[in-house]
Amino acid sequence: QITLKESGPTVLKPTQTLTLTCSFSGFSLRSSEVGVGWFRQPPGKALEWLTLIYGDDGRRYSPSLRSRGTITKDTSRNQVVLTVTNMDPKDTATYYCVYRRPGSGWIQRYFQHWGQGALVTVSS
């Protein structure tokens, strides 16, 4: 059974750095075909993709992070960490980590399991 859980601060002040940890179980992040992504959802708004890391350490970022974000993994601890610097009130959102399954082709490499989400509020 695959599970993911986000943890980190619930409140930050503007300009502070966000560090969110995704702790997962039920799979290994060692294969180049497996990935873990971060998404977010501002209150009452649509979903937004932020970043993705593969088991071979390949990474993708959304331009919206504008070089403020970094994704890393700790394979031995089954964790993925999202770091976002210079947080702004517009970054207030529920942040989700999501398992991107491997597959025999891209047809089956979809985002399958979502964590419960972590609400992060940025306010002075």
Task: Point out which residues bind other proteins (CB under 8 A).
Answer: 37, 46-49, 52, 60, 62-64, 96, 105-108, 110-112, 114-117
Structure tokens at 68: 């403020």
Least Å distance, CB 61 to other proteins, is 8
Compute the least distance from the CB of residue 70 to other proteins, in Å.
Answer: 16
Tokens encoding 91: 């970054």
Least distance from other proteins to the Cβ atom of residue 64, Å:
7
Cβ neighbour number for residue 113 with a 10 Å cutoff: 17
Nearest distance in Å: CB 67, other proteins: 14
Residue 92 near residue 42 (C-beta atoms within 8 A) = yes
* CA gap 22, 20 in Å, rounded: 7
13/60 with CB nearer other proteins: 60
Cβ contact 96:82 at 8 Å = no
Q: Collapsing DSSP states into helix, strand and coil, what is residue 76?
A: helix
In the bound state with other proteins, the residue whose beta carbon lies nearer, of 7 and 116, is 116
Nearer to other proteins, 55 or 115 (CB): 115
